Amino acid sequence: MTLGEKIKFLRSKESITQEEFAEKLNVSRSAIAKWETDNGTPDIANLKMISQMFEISIDDLLNDEFGFSDSIIDEEETDTDCEVYEGCYWDIELKGWNDGVNDVLIIGEDEDFIFYRKKENQLYGVIGKRYITSIRRKEKLNTEYDCSVFIDRSYFCKKHVLLELAAKEGLIQGFFDFRNDDYMDVIINSITDTKISLKFGGEISIDMISKIEELVVKSI
């Protein structure tokens, strides 16, 4: 395992977000993202703090031949069988600098996406499976949730949505490049197995989508 892979694994095992980890080390979130994608390396002071925080030697952190046994990896972090997610809220983390989602109910999936409902405002969204790095358990539901609710990709057609795209080839995967500025509030006309067509023109490959989330449309 690389140093970046180890840092991400250790952080995820402790259910620490990139923001929380950055605060503990007094660095920026972008620094954490660079470390975890092997686009940067912590200095010796930060390596010492990481070593102490996760009780692992600096030698083991830096030794590419040292990894972690599969037996201590939480299967729930990568499992996408939605039945195992019933009854709890979850955090879904994506590759690179890409924003995931926190405190969501996982309510379904298809070949490309996991479907969720946000705890804070009950809005629905989807996450591109190809960009998921971890799915971590949060709190249990206080009330029974109607698991018969069915949401698929067609739900997002004709609605105001936020689209988030993965990076172009050659950029840090998940970094928000200029393309996202054009999709902060768009209306999807149709969604097929391969592409999304927008109401006022334009098509986007399904493979480029890291997240779709419906927006609250305020009346004037």
| Average pLDDT of the segment spanning 66-77 | 46
Write down the pLDDT at residue 16: 85
Q: CB–CB of 100/94 below 8 Å?
A: yes
Q: CB–CB of 23/17 below 8 Å?
A: no
Name the class of domain 3-72: mainly alpha
Write down the pLDDT at residue 184: 84
Give residue limits of the domains in the chain. Answer: 3-72, 76-220
Where does the pLDDT of residue 218 fall: very low under 50, low under 70, confident under 90, or very high at 90 and above?
A: low
Q: Alpha carbon of 27 to those of 19, 22, 32, 36: distances in Å?
A: 9, 5, 8, 14
* Per-residue pLDDT reduced to its tens digit, 144-194: 555 556 788 999 999 999 998 876 554 444 444 445 667 889 999 999 999
* Per-residue pLDDT reduced to its tens digit, 119-139: 888 899 999 988 888 888 777
Find the helix or strand (DSSP H, E) in which 48 lies. Answer: helix 44-54
Where does the pLDDT of residue 47 fall: very low under 50, low under 70, confident under 90, or very high at 90 and above?
A: very high
**Token couple for 139:** 């709190």
Q: Where are the alpha helices (DSSP H) in 37-174?
A: 44-54, 58-62
